[in-house]
Amino acid sequence: MDLSPSEAQRMLRHSAERFIAEHYGPAARRHAMQDPMGFKRENWRKLADLGWLGLPFPEEVGGFGGGPVEVAILMEEFGRGLATEPYLSTVLLAGTLIAECGTEEQRMGLLPAIINGERLLSFAHYESDARAGLSEVHTVAHTDNQGWMLHGRKMAVLDAVSADVHMVSARLPDAQGVGIALFLVPKDAAGVRLRDAPRLGGGRVAELTFEQARLPPDARLGTGGDMLPAIEGVVDRAVAALCAEAAGMMRSMFDATLDYTKVRKQFGRPLGANQVIRHRLADMYVQCEEARAMAARAALLVGADTDSTQRSLAASGAKVKIGRCARNVAEQAVQLHGAMGVTDELNLGLYFKRVLVFEALFGSVDYHLQRHVKLFGNSRSE
């Protein structure tokens, strides 16, 4: 029982802090947001050079063998700087599913190209509200002697516009029960239609439509079997990573607000001289610390060595606790900035929007609270 970071973890945090300080100043961030891809490709190459695109992958494919704790360190700093790179889509979702479920050809064909920054992937799974859960898939895949035909529609696909390959979930009509398969769909495959839009607070999001999209026989990820358990595991870990990112965003919002209340004067004294403001800031600080602790806890408990119930409890629990704290810190940060807080002249609004994105991704606070209630009850009655 020791929560001290290792020397390697300290170094990772240090270099991530430095990277964000150097590359995510306000001007650079606005510039990146105007890029049609939602981020700057040269930043992605820098992430590759630093080895971070290979952070969670095993060493045999050129990765660094890191776990959720290392990912959380990186994500927290990404959150502080409000990075918009498709790290979640390419590395933590699609890339991790390839590493865990892909055939040898798929692993060796794609992972080294992901790690060196050449290939980008999206993860196209949701079709309706995330509240419906991860098994709600209606996209279908038919097979014939030429390969696969994909038909359906995916919504809220993060970073699809920059992806070379979309990882798409679909049902096999002849499969019994809830079997879900994953397919690797090249961006230029016939029958694939992409409608791209800006994502709230930076980055891109898209709708993907597949109309009898033709895929080669080896487009299916892995060698068969239901992919839902693997998707659940990867999404739980993604939720934990997003929680760390949210903790970083909260910290930046809080720091900006604290600074502002020290310099902004009204009635002849700084805002921070008023007890009502001081106490609110104290509560915001407590929530930032709580969020950070809960994100670190989730990172320790969503690793591959945790059983699936404990893993899901840790992820959902963190989403609930951090979701509540993040919303309060974001709302109060805007409130304490006064009218400036609702203008586009500050970065604060971008953080506020990204908190909304955090809340909406992979299920709301209420969804995860109900999931926690159910899993917790089950885990106790066993």
Q: Which residues bind other proteins (CB under 8 A)?
A: 1-6, 9, 69, 258, 261-262, 272-273, 275, 278-279, 281-283, 285-286, 289-290, 293-294, 296-297, 300-301, 317, 320-321, 369-370, 372-373, 376-377, 380
Number of neighbours of residue 185 by Cβ within 10 angstroms = 25
Cite the DSSP H helix spans in 35-103: 41-49, 68-81, 87, 96-101
Distance of closest approach, residue 285 Cβ to other proteins, in angstroms: 6
Our CB check for other proteins shows the closer of 176 and 381 to be 381
Distance of closest approach, residue 348 Cβ to other proteins, in angstroms: 18
Tokens of 353: 């929007």
Spatial contact of 128 and 155, defined as CB atoms under 8 Å apart? yes
Residue type, 196: D
Distance of closest approach, residue 131 Cβ to other proteins, in angstroms: 16
Our CB check for other proteins shows the closer of 76 and 159 to be 76
The span from the CA of 100 to the CA of 107, in Å, is 9
E strands, 255-358, are 265-266, 269-270
Our CB check for other proteins shows the closer of 100 and 290 to be 290
- Per-position b or e across 102-120, b if 16+ CB within 10 A of its CB: beeebbeebbbbbbebebb
Residues 6+ positions from 15 with CB-CB distance below 8 Å: 50
The span from the CA of 50 to the CA of 44, in Å, is 10
- The per-residue DSSP string of 182-231 comes to EEEEETT-TTEEEEEEEPTTSSEEEEEEEEEEEE-GGGBSTTSS--HHHH
Distance of closest approach, residue 274 Cβ to other proteins, in angstroms: 10
The span from the CA of 245 to the CA of 357, in Å, is 11
Tokens of 96: 């991790």
Number of neighbours of residue 309 by Cβ within 10 angstroms = 13
Residue 223 sits at φ, ψ, to 5 deg, of -115, 30
Distance of closest approach, residue 102 Cβ to other proteins, in angstroms: 29
Distance of closest approach, residue 108 Cβ to other proteins, in angstroms: 31
Distance of closest approach, residue 344 Cβ to other proteins, in angstroms: 27
Our CB check for other proteins shows the closer of 232 and 289 to be 289
Our CB check for other proteins shows the closer of 30 and 279 to be 279
Spatial contact of 260 and 271, defined as CB atoms under 8 Å apart? yes
Number of neighbours of residue 172 by Cβ within 10 angstroms = 17
The span from the CA of 55 to the CA of 145, in Å, is 39
Distance of closest approach, residue 244 Cβ to other proteins, in angstroms: 13
3-state SS, residue 56: coil
Bridge-based pairing state of the strands 147-158 and 204-215: antiparallel
Our CB check for other proteins shows the closer of 235 and 296 to be 296
Our CB check for other proteins shows the closer of 158 and 318 to be 318
Distance of closest approach, residue 234 Cβ to other proteins, in angstroms: 22
